[in-house]
Amino acid sequence: MSSVSTHVLDTGTGRPAAGMAARLLRRAEGNWEQVGGGTTDADGRIKDFGNKDPGPAVLPVGIYRIEFDTGAYFQGDGVESFFPEVALTFTVASDSEHYHVPLLLSPFAYSTYRGS
């Protein structure tokens, strides 16, 4: 089955965004259900969101969203920011691929791409 990871870089400081909380959600029948979560490590990574129980993520094909708690991250550093959270919605189209969804972040802008 598929798995999802992320890497958050704080482009304002040029460093990894360590200690940022994020949730992985799956859309089911028009509603969002949390299927995993975590906090970025010292390198700004969540290597595998895992499911609600300990263990690796097991994700069927579907629509997913990562919600990053960017407001708390910047507030922790005493930095004013415009986006209290960033939500990235994407499609898991294969049940046998790894999906890497990076976030490049500054207090007033962000961008993303499909990583490898």
**Residues 6 or more apart in contact with residue 31 via CB below 8 angstroms:** none
Please check the confidence at residue 92 and state whether its pLDDT lies above 50.
yes
pLDDT attached to residue 56: 46
Beta-carbon count within 10 A of 21 CB: 16
Q: Which helix (H) or strand (E) segment is 65 a member of?
A: strand 62-68
Show the domains of the chain with their CATH numbers. 3-112 (2.60.40.180)
pLDDT attached to residue 53: 55
pLDDT, one tens digit per residue, over 38-61 is: 999 999 999 988 655 544 456 889
Strand order of the β-sheet with 62-68 is 31-39, 21-28, 62-68, 86-92
Between 82 and 57, where is the model more confident? 82
Residue of 10, 8, 12, 65 lying closest to 36 (CA atoms)? 65
Sign, CA dihedral 58-60-61-67, equals: negative
Question: Which tokens sit at 42?
Answer: 């010292």
